[in-house]
Amino acid sequence: SQTIHQWPATLVQPVGSPLSLECTVEGTSNPNLYWYRQAAGRGLQLLFYSVGIGQISSEVPQNLSASRPQDRQFILSSKKLLLSDSGFYLCAWSMGQGNEKLFFGSGTQLSVL
């Protein structure tokens, strides 16, 4: 069966520090991968998605970047965090075959102080 791992679960970082959140998927190959941000337990904002290694689409221009160095690995990064980057970050994957059921990781609560 497929599983998705996301870490860390919580992170407190000072303003101006770098960020690296990692997500890996097991049990499937060539998944579509996604990074979402959720502010204050509300709606989801799609940040990045990837349909293959090295292929990244950005939905919202901002202080963040994403990379997919391996088929089942998706990384969210920042060189210098802003206060506004605080939020709950969710990684997700789908099979990309028409019925786009998304399966989510457990999330990372990021607090930028």
Q: Which is nearer to another protein, 18 or 27 (CB)?
A: 27
11 lies in the binding site for another protein (CB under 8 A): no
Which span sits near another protein by CB under 8 A: 13-21, 43-51, 60-68, 73-81?
43-51
- Interface with another protein: number of residues (CB under 8 A): 21
Q: Which of 42, 54, 61, 69 binds another protein (CB under 8 A)?
A: 42
3-state helix/strand/coil string of the chain: CCEEEEECCEEEECCCCCEEEEEEEECCCCCEEEEEEECCCCCEEEEEEEEECCEEEECCCCCCEEEEEECCEEEEEECCCCHHHCEEEEEEEECCCCCCCCEECCCEEEEEC
Indicate whether 50 belongs to the interface with another protein (CB under 8 A): no
